[in-house]
Amino acid sequence: FVNGAHRRKAGITGLSHNATLTVPRDQAGRRIHIPPTGLVISRVLAELLDLKVGDRVTMEPAKGDRRPFQLEVVEVTDSYMGQTAYANIEHLSDLIGEAFAMNGAQLTASRDANLRDSLHRELKQTAAVQSVILRDQLIEHLVETLLSTQGIFITSLVSFAGIIFFGSMVNASMVSLAERQREVATLRAIGYSPWRVGGLFLRENLVTNLAGTLVGLPVGYFLMWLTAMSYNNDLIRIPVITDNWIWGVTLLLSLLFALAAHAFVQWRIHRMDFVDALKVKE
């Protein structure tokens, strides 16, 4: 693609107007309609070429009739895939001087494993076919290589974060208990049970924990967004998707870690010798 001083090498996906196997969609999941003439490009490619709707861009084909021609940009879409462009395949074929330009085909195959294996073998033996990709195997491979790795990474990250959070809560609670040992002993001496004394510390810790969590949630979301933006490039855009249940699970885990940390404080209160703690040490 050439637009003045801007040049970019990219491919155009030619589709028929009634395509059902390849249905391009934008970030909102809406179908991108392919016009009879003209070009639909991603926002990333439009920014790289300094294009907007209504502009004309010069295309230099890599096959067929290699004479440059111009196409009008009829739509700019927001897509997770970076340098994407779509056009009507019949219109593209006319522009490059071919009856029907095609370098790939998609087939709807039977779900029967034997029939699919037989078709796969025949396609492999066809000289004109350079490669065969099975969609199910591709998805399975992506799940195994990407999602499994991400699952391990996320589990490790959450575990380490929980350990750090738990340790900091225990440490802060123990320090607070040590500093207020005489106060605790006084409460025990005037008739407060260990559970009532522990409840005072629990309420204090929950307020502190809630305040920290409410501050940490938006900060964590911002850091996640910043990380996703740092991975964005000309080829792909990583979306930041957060469901409401994730916020709820985060609050629940925060509460569970706080309760687990308080268990140590409660244990120390039960074992405290309040008579010895009330003695004046010279």
Summarised one tens digit per residue, pLDDT across range 149-170 is 778 888 888 888 888 888 888 8
Average pLDDT, integer, range 25-42 = 84
HSE-CB of 282 using CA atoms within 13 angstroms: 0
Determine the pLDDT at residue 125: 78
Closest residue by Cα to residue 55 from 43, 67, 38, 68: 38
Average pLDDT, integer, range 184-200 = 84
Closest residue by Cα to residue 264 from 164, 159, 175: 175
Determine the pLDDT at residue 278: 66
Q: What is the DSSP string of the chain?
A: -EETTEE-----EEE-TT-SSS--B-TTSPBPPPPSSSEEEEHHHHHHHT--TT-EEEE--SSSS---EEEEEEEEE--SBSS-EEEEHHHHHHHTT-SS--S-------S-HHHHHHHHHHHHH-TT------HHHHHHHHIIIIIHHHHHHHHHHHHHHHHHHHHHHHHHHHHHHHHTHHHHHHHHHTT--HHHHHHHHHHHHHHHHHHHHHHHHHHHHHHHHHHHHHH--SSB-------HHHHHHHHHHHHHHHHHHHHHHHHHHHH--HHHHHSPP-
Determine the pLDDT at residue 184: 80
Question: Does position 256 have pLDDT exceeding 60, yes or no?
Answer: yes
Apex 119 CA angle, 116 and 121, nearest 5: 110
Determine the pLDDT at residue 222: 92
Summarised one tens digit per residue, pLDDT across range 83-110 is 888 888 888 888 877 777 777 777 777 7
Summarised one tens digit per residue, pLDDT across range 199-255 is 888 888 888 888 888 888 899 889 888 888 887 776 777 778 888 888 888 888 888
Determine the pLDDT at residue 126: 78
Angstrom CA distances, 122 to 43, 103, 105, stand at 40, 18, 15
Average pLDDT, integer, range 59-74 = 81
Average pLDDT, integer, range 120-132 = 76
What's the whole-number average pLDDT of the chain? 82
Determine the pLDDT at residue 281: 56
Question: Does position 282 have pLDDT exceeding 70, yes or no?
Answer: no
Could you name the CATH architecture of 2-106?
Beta Barrel (2.40)
Q: Domain coordinates of the chain in residue numbers?
A: 2-106, 135-278
